[in-house]
Structures are given as structure tokens and as C-alpha cells.
Amino acid sequence: MISPAKINLGLKILFKRQDGFHELKSIFLLVDWGDEIHFEDSENFILQSELDPNLPRKEDFECVSERGEVTKNILYKTYLKAKILQPKIKGVKIYLKKRIPTGGGLGGGSSNSAQLLKYFFQTKFPLPFNDEFYTFSSTIGADVPFFLVGKSSIVGGIGEKMEIIELPQFSGILAIPPFGINTKEAFISLKKPLQESIGSNDWRYLSSDVKSPLLDGNLSKFHSLIANDFEPFATKVYPELSKLKQSMLDYGMDFVTMSGSGSCFYGLVTNENKIPKIKDNLKGSFREFQFVSFKTQ
């Protein structure tokens, strides 16, 4: 099965919480591209992985795979958490083909974790996926609840608060650089003030000037109304990302932004027939980058 990547339509970091996490507001979308993952019964935890030959920064994954220190892999951490919730769980054998890069803002690890939780608690030992379960899953990774829901959502809190939003299907190109962004450094760069969570539901709401073109699929208008707070930091550290974004727009994409805390950028188009030519142009201009065509789910 596919363990899908996600992209962010805008990302606003509101403030730093007392527990050290940051409150955010964003729109998360799943794409029809990601890792391949399969599960089998086992007496122990076993991970067997292979890497897509196009995957950049292979060493980042290798060090937490079965060829490195697997106990640092999010799948192993998910397994241990699941056993606390359900002691009858013995083990699991996982086959993983890794395509989603680390440090790209695409949520690859959280997506893998969510698929394993679904295997345990939908297939083996069914449990209701309710607010309590989403809170539990967020202790593994902030994006895990979204991947459990598996639908386009307005997201708040640290990622565990969600409201499903029905959107048109978009086509686009994902640009994967040969480098990642250090998430901790990205958050530090924002210098957000420390404050207590105020329990507001403001994260749920989109202003009408944003919501209307988004629901209508008017990407060109939407482009000027939403932004990713991490993008200035990423483009300062890696100026080639600014060149990438401008080239994606120049080649004909209607909307271009960074996903998550970076380093991956993506572009969306109204006319998907333009994608092959745009992709060829990008490959010619940025030979060290990987470019993937996708559709939102």
C-alpha cells in the first residue's frame, strides 16, 4: 500500500507553548505519491527496507533503518507505543520502500507511523479512532493524527486538531532538493513568543478572501493570499530555493510554495496538460533536484 506524503497549503506558526511545542495553523493535503509499506504478523519487530534509487540524502534514512540504529526509527517507536495501548501485540514484520525524504516537510515518518497504527488498531485489535486516540497518536508525531484521518483538513494545535475541508483535486509537481532543513533551527529562527494556549477555535476558520478562491480552484488568486512562515528562513539558508520557486512560476505553475518546515517545494496548476513540459524544464535547470508529478487526494 502507499504511505502517502502530505503538502501544506500555507503554514502559520502562532506562538510557542509552555510544553515547548508550537501552535500552528495550516491546511494539509494528501498526495498520491509516497512510500510503499506492507505488514505481516511476526513474533518480533522486524523492519526490511529498501531505498528508491532517486531518494536524496539516503544516509539520513540508513542511520535509523535496520542497517543502522532501528530503535530510533519512528516505526519502532510506534510499535512500542502500540504495545502499551494493547499488550496483546507481539510483533510485526514491515516491508518499506522509502521514497519520501527526511527533512523535506512532507511528513514521511508520520505517514509510516499512521499506517502501522491502522494495521494494529483497525485490522488486528480494532479501536475507535476518536479524539482520545488522535491525542495518543500525536505523542508519536504531530502529523500522525492527520494521516490517520486521511482527508484534506484545516489543522490547528500542534497538528492534532483537524477539521475536514472538501477541496477540488489539484495537479502539481513536487521539487525535492538534495538537502534538508533542520526543523529545530527553523523554529528557532521564527522567535515566536512563549505563551499559554488560549483554547481558541480561530484555527478552524479561513477568511472569505482565502476560502473562496481555494474552493473554486482559483490558484493564481490564492497565491497572493497565503504563505509559509518557514520559507524566508529556508531560502536564506539555501538561496537556490528562491531560484527554484521563481523558475517554477516562470515555467507556468499557478501556485508555488514550500511544504512544512522545508526543504521541499511544490507547484500546482489549473491545467494539468502543462505538467510534462514544466517538469522537463525544471529537470534541465535543476539537475540535482528530483521532480515528482502528483495529484492531491
5/245 Cα distance (integer angstroms): 20
Closest C-alpha to 178, from 59, 72, 69, 259 = 59
Q: Which residues contact 58 (CB under 8 A, 6 or more apart)?
A: 51
What is the set of domains in the chain, with CATH numbers?
Answer: 2-164 (3.30.230.10), 171-295 (3.30.70.890)
Of 25, 35, 98, 143, the active-site residue reads 143
Of 6, 25, 161, 245, the active-site residue reads 6
Predicted pLDDT at 224 = 77
52 labelled catalytic: no
Predicted pLDDT at 90 = 95
> E strands, 105-167, where?
153-156, 161-164
Predicted pLDDT at 83 = 97
Grid cell for residue 279: 517538469
Predicted pLDDT at 80 = 98
Predicted pLDDT at 15 = 85
Closest C-alpha to 175, from 27, 14, 88, 288 = 288
Conformation bin of residue 100: beta by default, left when phi > 0, alpha when psi is -120 to 50:
beta
User: Which residues of the chain, if any, have pLDDT below 50?
Assistant: none
Q: How many CA atoms does the CB half-sphere of 297 hold within 13 Å?
A: 19
Distance of CA 271 to the CA centre of its chain: 24
Predicted pLDDT at 216 = 83
6 labelled catalytic: yes
Residue 267, strand partner residues? 173, 256
Whole-model pTM: value is: 0.92
Predicted pLDDT at 284 = 97
